[in-house]
Amino acid sequence: MASYLTATEALSQQQFAQNADLPASQATWANKYRGATIEDLDPPPALSVSPSDLISTAMLAAYERDYTHLTVTSSSKRSLLGYLSIPRLKELLKEGAVKESDSVAVAMQRFNRKRGTYQVITMETPLEELERFFESETGPNGEQRPKQTFAVVTDASRKFVLGVATKADLEEFVKRRPA
């Protein structure tokens, strides 16, 4: 007579077998996130501004939606040019380095396209990989970079910005999820 496993038993056996092959840190991540992806974070849709928009307009839009980062896209091509960090923008305004009547182009952080490839983060990216992205001080090509606090979520072909995932979003997900 054949014995059948329940779905829960089968999943447990599969996860145990997969975790046995992983290094200790990856096994910990796998247990922490249990197969969740960025889509499970339920990131809000991206709010993009144009480099020609006023800083005051961008600040108001960020406050209305409680966003800490805005993506900056080209008005004509809709290509991703960089981002606007609201905490950094507040510092620049306080120091007097920029004014609210200045354009976003003055305060935005531009992406360095000459530096090489960057890591593509999509809605299907596992949360383990997102955590590695936040914690790592090396880029996809092994170059040194500062730790990241947010990731721009795009489609697989990098044509559309779908959202922004922050390190705080990841931490909140872990807190909400039962152990």
Instruction: Render pLDDT for 27-43 as a digit per residue (tens, 0 to 9).
Output: 454 567 888 999 999 88
Single pTM value for the model: 0.70
CA distances for 75 relative to 18, 61, 65, 160, angstroms? 46, 17, 21, 14
Q: How far apart are alpha carbons 176 and 164 in whole angstroms?
A: 19
Phi, psi of 81 (to 5 degrees): -105, -35
Instruction: Render pLDDT for 4-60 as a digit per residue (tens, 0 to 9).
Output: 444 445 444 454 444 444 444 444 545 678 889 999 998 888 889 999 999 999 999
Element (H, E) at 90: helix 86-95
Domains in the chain: ranges and CATH: 35-176 (3.10.580.10)
With a pLDDT cut of 90, the percent of the chain lying above it is 36
Q: How far apart are alpha carbons 85 and 79 in whole angstroms?
A: 18
Phi, psi of 11 (to 5 degrees): -65, -45
Q: How far apart are alpha carbons 81 and 43 in whole angstroms?
A: 20
Q: Which residues pair with 161 in a beta bridge?
A: 154
